[in-house]
Chains A and B, each alone.
Chain A
Amino acid sequence: MRLSGGLAALGLVVCLVFPGAVALGKPLRVVVITDAAGLGDRGFNDVCWRGVEKAREELGLEAQFLQSREQADYVSNLTLAAKRADVIVTLGYLFVDAVQRTAPRFPHIFFVHMEGEISGENVACFDFKSEEGGFLAGLVAGVFTRSRKIGVVTGMDIPPVEAYVSGFRAGVDTAAVRRGEGIEVIVASAGSFNDPVKGKALAQALMGKGVDVIFRAAGNTGVGVMEAVKNSDGVYLIGEDLDQDGELPGKILTSTLKRLDVAVHGALSDIARGSFQPGHRWMGAQSGAVGITEMRYTRGLFRPEDLEFVAMVSTMVARGDLVVPRTMGGLKTFSPPNMP
């Protein structure tokens, strides 16, 4: 009796201390950790989850997601997940500190991180040249706008968002040069990625200022922006991070694409094959991870020459001929290419 009790206790300790030990011969277990917005933001988190699901179907993974209630929970959630999983995927810039602190404690666990740079032998992290997507979106908005006023609703002003905004502004400027007339860009920040109510209010305020295109770069907050656009005529939206065109067909000019799913899927496949590559990588238009949609509902709204113009500039960006500024500082020195 006592012996078996002791063995059970020992087993428990083993399980706690060597979580990897019990995983041998079993499918790879993946835990995806998100910020307070969680899944269902129809943006960043959902795109990543799509990549995980694809990998799950192809590779037979076990995947779970974990929504964090507050920033104080990041480290403890990572710790908890590390004890139940072989791979941890963290989504978003806010996790950088926590992963940096946790990863060294679990050298046998693989960490895949989206947005932000983290060092470590067991960490692979991906950054996206959001500015390139933003640039193309800005281009589309710039050639489209009739009121010559364009709005942007952002979540928090963190670096990836800043990249989006500065790229977007650069795109608008390029279009303005082509049109030969000035275009105003108004940026409104909600201060949170998870506040749809505020997003809606900000969008309505922007419309009040005469804006006819709004770019949402606000995570779950953008759901409110979409809501506002849905209810008003003559105002169009530009989606972010994944193809949202189908959500309001005809009202969403285009969506920026950030193929987080490609990156996540790639990283998970690497791990499953045993060829994990640690380190930090930039994903951009060149690798096909960033871009805009084909505008399948809204092509009719544009003049053909404008569409040609957009397509031409896109290829320039994809070839690397055109460098888009990633920060506000870079935007100041950016001079729009003069095109025929």
Chain B
Amino acid sequence: MPWRGGWLPSTFFSACLMGLLLCATSGMATGHGPFALIRAIWEGSWGSVDAAITTLAKMTPLLLTGLAVAVAWRVNLLNIGCEGQLTLGALAAATFALQAESLPSWALIPLSAAVGAAIGALWSWPAVALKHFRGTHEVITTLILNYIATYLAEYLVLGPLGDGSAMGRTAQIPSGAVLKPVLSMGVPVAPFAGVLLCLVVQAWLSRNVWGYEVTVVGINRVAAETSGINARGWERRIFLFSGALAGMAGAIEVLGVHHRFYRAFSAGYGFDGVTTAFLVQGLPGMLWLSALLMASLRAADKWLQLALGVSPNMILVIQAGVLLAAVCRPAAVFFRRGRVPWK
């Protein structure tokens, strides 16, 4: 068969293993026993309907920013700028929803999301343009653009786009623009749409001629160009798409969760997107796994405090450990041995 089946990224499992190990040791160190932390994380993220809904809601931005990083990585570009793209996307979506409140809901929601995506893409453009015309590394430019975006948003929301209070926030968006959970019991629909989007992107990358061109550009740029593929064009398009995804993540946060923009908006979703993507080696089809893990950790911190009295910063430690394990890939070597005969 010309097509090989999908494989489970061993990185992810080694990361999970590391996470469990960290939980167990820190649980023992704090005198709660090795399984208390693990159980608390589980209960905090999936232990009740409410918790599960919270966890699911946290998946959406992680899925989108994770996908943003993953697709850019497909053409060997590292988009560290999701944070800024997300922030400006959110602000743009909130502003648009406030300006166009007379529109019917079915038009207002998608249009607001689209505006957020467009601004996100716009904010990623300087990075790729500078790379192509001046050879600047995109990690540096996107990082700097993050700062500009944060303070630009702060300025705008304290001034012309704010609600007039000194809080640094916009007014609440009209109820027509609120993205309501459609499934019963308040289960949000956005994360499922996000997973679907990831799967579509995966299928596009592996079964579509344009996705194939992107893959080839990422693996061997010279070979791609000699095969008549416009490598530069794809890099630009994919990077803009990546920015649009991050902007969309911000827009959905506004429409679905906060219903307004306020300063210091992102809470680190942009950078967690990098973690999410690299936990599964940037495979879009597997992002749901890592987003699930990251969202569970994020959602569990309150339960950790209430049930065990453990500081929520413990979650940050675990997250860092998980990422470290993913980057080291100790188990990747272990799983590989003897399976791939050529080398």
* A interface residue numbers (CB < 8 A to B): 16, 31, 38, 64-73, 76-77, 79-81, 83-84, 93, 156-159, 162, 191-192
User: Which residues of A lie under 8 Å from residue B306 when comparing CB positions?
Assistant: 31, 64, 66, 80-81, 84
**Closest CB pairs A-B (n = 9):** A70-B267, A76-B54, A157-B166, A77-B302, A66-B305, A67-B312, A72-B257, A80-B302, A158-B167
Interface set, chain B 90-146, CB cutoff 8 A to A: none
Find out whether the CB atom of B50 lies under 8 angstroms from the CB atom of A69: no
Find out whether the CB atom of A71 lies under 8 angstroms from the CB atom of B267: yes
- Per the bound structure, the CA–CA distance linking A307 and B302 in Å amounts to 47
Known: A64-B305, A64-B306. A69 touches B298 (CB 8 A): yes
A sample of 9 inter-chain contacts (CB < 8 A) reads A66-B305, A67-B311, A69-B312, A72-B258, A76-B50, A76-B302, A156-B167, A158-B166, A191-B263
Min C-beta distance of B48 to chain A, whole Å: 7
- Which residue of B154, B302, B303 contacts A191 across the interface (Cβ within 8 Å)? B154
- Per the bound structure, the CA–CA distance linking A333 and B303 in Å amounts to 49
- Which residue of B166, B253, B264 contacts A162 across the interface (Cβ within 8 Å)? B166
Min C-beta distance of B56 to chain A, whole Å: 11
User: Which residues of B lie under 8 Å from residue A79 when comparing CB positions?
Assistant: 50
- Which residue of B51, B167, B302 contacts A66 across the interface (Cβ within 8 Å)? B302
User: Which residues of B lie under 8 Å from residue A68 when comparing CB positions?
Assistant: 302
* B interface residue numbers (CB < 8 A to A): 48-51, 54, 58, 154, 158, 165-168, 253, 257-258, 262-264, 267-268, 298-299, 301-303, 305-306, 309, 311-312, 315
Query: Can you add 13 more A-B contacts, CB < 8 Å, to A68-B302, A72-B267?
Result: A16-B49, A38-B311, A65-B305, A67-B312, A71-B267, A73-B302, A76-B50, A156-B168, A158-B166, A159-B167, A191-B154, A191-B263, A191-B264
- Per the bound structure, the CA–CA distance linking A191 and B298 in Å amounts to 24
- Per the bound structure, the CA–CA distance linking A65 and B154 in Å amounts to 30
Find out whether the CB atom of A157 lies under 8 angstroms from the CB atom of B267: no
Residue of A nearest to B169 (CB): A97
- Per the bound structure, the CA–CA distance linking A190 and B75 in Å amounts to 39
Residue of B nearest to A81 (CB): B306
Find out whether the CB atom of B302 lies under 8 angstroms from the CB atom of A16: no
Find out whether the CB atom of B166 lies under 8 angstroms from the CB atom of A159: yes
- Per the bound structure, the CA–CA distance linking A38 and B312 in Å amounts to 10
Min C-beta distance of A115 to chain B, whole Å: 12
- Per the bound structure, the CA–CA distance linking A306 and B305 in Å amounts to 48
Min C-beta distance of B111 to chain A, whole Å: 23
Min C-beta distance of A298 to chain B, whole Å: 32
- Per the bound structure, the CA–CA distance linking A70 and B54 in Å amounts to 13
Find out whether the CB atom of A80 lies under 8 angstroms from the CB atom of B168: no
Residue of A nearest to B49 (CB): A16
Find out whether the CB atom of A16 lies under 8 angstroms from the CB atom of B48: yes
- Per the bound structure, the CA–CA distance linking A205 and B92 in Å amounts to 34
- Per the bound structure, the CA–CA distance linking A90 and B301 in Å amounts to 18
User: Which residues of A lie under 8 Å from residue B298 when comparing CB positions?
Assistant: 69
- Per the bound structure, the CA–CA distance linking A76 and B264 in Å amounts to 19
Find out whether the CB atom of A71 lies under 8 angstroms from the CB atom of B258: yes
Min C-beta distance of B168 to chain A, whole Å: 7
Min C-beta distance of B132 to chain A, whole Å: 34
- Per the bound structure, the CA–CA distance linking A332 and B251 in Å amounts to 40
Min C-beta distance of B25 to chain A, whole Å: 23
Min C-beta distance of B165 to chain A, whole Å: 8
User: Which residues of B lie under 8 Å from residue A191 when comparing CB positions?
Assistant: 154, 263-264
Min C-beta distance of B330 to chain A, whole Å: 29
- Per the bound structure, the CA–CA distance linking A66 and B315 in Å amounts to 14
Residue of A nearest to B51 (CB): A80
User: Which residues of B lie under 8 Å from residue A65 when comparing CB positions?
Assistant: 305
Min C-beta distance of A157 to chain B, whole Å: 5
Residue of B nearest to A96 (CB): B167
